[in-house]
């Protein structure tokens, strides 16, 4: 990672954080004034004690767009010290602008659809159709996952599936105060580290800005939450993480000891990926529709073990940090070390599953994820 790039990343992340704090505060007041509130008791799973404003998603998205816009303005027309630092990056910035426009458009569509869904539920099929359209368009023109094959159709299908999966994984885990935002902050940090080590400035900037806006939102979403992100926020954050995970080049022949780094995005997002797969299997086992939400997520199972909600969130975040830290080591580990790292993460998730097994038989309440 070039030392000259650090000021850009720190300023981008810090600026995104401050913008997010400011805009989330404004949106919290506006939501209260306009009556855009999540009221307890309207659904079985709503257990917060009082009505909570629900405009965190639009606030984070606005901060994200502003941070990117200000960063581009500074790179092209900012003060001389900043422009001097950015000079070497300008050709790369110009090259990625079309992709950035498509990614930004996809994020905007998901936020608008999420706001509508928060206000007047769209239903499973229309909601999934919007997600699929955004993911498919992004995979067609902006982001590609090839996994050592050259088929354009398979590449598009893999990328679309990845984006859809991560969007819904983060959406599913937005079930406790501070959880989805905390997971996004941790995952964005590790994506930024890996992309920075690879010298991929565009991905690093997107990751630190995404982490910054999530961090700003957490100032209002720490238990007890004063602001919710809603579907607009969880879909937006999931999309940003999916894009960051797909854009990075992990395996470099002759430089990386093994192809194992291609698994880095799966390990960085191991907790939401594991949770989504687990709840789908659990619902199928109980004869329930896979899209029908419940209280069997990993965070709920920790709570049923007696940890309480804040400690359950902390436990999930610690798991995410452990898996993310292990993911970064795959860049340098020889084959035996990479296998051990993967087995270690698999063993930890298996252990959590065994410890939580009894909680699966506890009474559960249904809700829409």
Q: What is the pLDDT along the chain (369 residues), one digit of tens a residue?
A: 555 677 778 999 999 999 999 999 999 999 999 988 987 754 444 554 578 999 999 999 999 999 999 988 887 776 665 655 555 566 777 889 999 999 999 999 999 999 999 888 888 999 999 999 999 999 999 999 999 899 999 999 999 999 999 999 999 999 999 999 999 999 999 999 999 999 898 999 999 999 999 999 999 999 999 999 999 999 999 999 999 999 999 998 888 999 999 999 999 999 999 999 999 988 888 888 877 777 889 999 999 999 999 999 999 999 999 999 999 999 999 999 999 999 999 999 999 999 887 666 555 444 433
Closest CA to 298 of 324, 272, 262: 272
Residue 334 DSSP SS3: coil
Instruction: Tell me whether the omega of the peptide bond preceding residue 7 falls within 30 degrees of 0, making it cis.
Output: no
* pLDDT confidence of residue 282: 86
Spell out the SS3 assignment of 193-241.
Answer: HHHHHCCCHHHHHHHHHHHHHHHHHHHHHCCCCCCECHHHHHHHHHHHH
Residue 47: both structure tokens together = 């257990």
pTM > 0.75: yes
| Residue ranges of domains in the chain | 3-361
* pLDDT confidence of residue 5: 72
* pLDDT confidence of residue 3: 58
* pLDDT confidence of residue 86: 58
Residues 6+ apart with CB under 8 A from 355: 305
- Between CA 306 and CA 110 the distance in angstroms is 36
- Between CA 135 and CA 157 the distance in angstroms is 10
* pLDDT confidence of residue 199: 87
Closest CA to 241 of 196, 208, 274, 286: 208
Please measure the distance between the N-terminal and C-terminal CA atoms of the chain and give it in whole angstroms.
Answer: 39
Cβ atoms of 46 and 2 closer than 8 Å: no
To which H or E segment does residue 281 belong?
Answer: helix 270-285
């Amino acid at each position: 990672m070039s030392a000259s790039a650090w000021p850009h990343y720190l300023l981008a992340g810090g600026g995104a954080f401050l913008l997010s704090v400011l805009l989330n505060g404004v949106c919290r007041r506006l939501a209260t004034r306009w009556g855009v509130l999540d009221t307890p008791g309207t659904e079985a799973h709503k257990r917060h004690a009082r009505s909570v404003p629900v405009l965190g998603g639009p606030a984070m998205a606005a901060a994200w767009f502003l941070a990117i816009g200000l960063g581009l303005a500074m790179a092209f027309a900012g003060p001389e010290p900043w422009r001097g630092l950015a000079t070497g990056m300008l050709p790369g910035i110009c090259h990625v602008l079309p992709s950035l426009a498509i990614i930004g458009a996809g994020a905007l569509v998901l936020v608008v659809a999420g706001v509508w869904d928060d206000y007047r539920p769209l239903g499973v099929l229309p909601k999934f159709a919007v997600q699929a359209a955004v993911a498919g368009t992004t995979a067609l023109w902006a982001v590609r996952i090839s996994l050592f094959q050259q088929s354009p159709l398979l590449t598009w299908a893999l990328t679309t599936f990845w984006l859809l999966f991560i969007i819904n994984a983060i959406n599913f885990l937005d079930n406790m105060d501070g959880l989805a935002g905390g997971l996004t902050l941790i995952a964005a940090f590790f994506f930024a580290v890996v992309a920075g080590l690879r010298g991929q400035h565009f991905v690093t900037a997107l990751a630190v800005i995404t982490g910054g806006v999530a961090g700003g939102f957490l100032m209002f979403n720490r238990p007890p939450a004063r602001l919710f992100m809603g579907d607009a926020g969880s879909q937006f954050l999931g999309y940003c993480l999916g894009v960051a995970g797909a854009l990075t080049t992990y395996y470099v022949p002759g430089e990386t000891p093994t192809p194992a780094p291609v698994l880095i995005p799966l390990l960085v997002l191991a907790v939401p990926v594991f949770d989504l797969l687990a709840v789908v299997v659990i619902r199928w086992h109980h004869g329930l529709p896979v899209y029908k939400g419940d209280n069997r997520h990993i965070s709920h199972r920790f709570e049923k073990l007696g940890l309480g909600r804040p400690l359950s969130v902390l436990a999930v975040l610690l798991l995410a940090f452990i898996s993310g830290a292990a993911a970064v080591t795959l860049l340098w580990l020889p084959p035996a070390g990479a296998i051990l790292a993967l087995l270690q993460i698999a063993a930890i998730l298996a252990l959590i599953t065994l410890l939580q097994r009894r909680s699966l038989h506890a009474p559960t309440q249904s809700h829409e994820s």
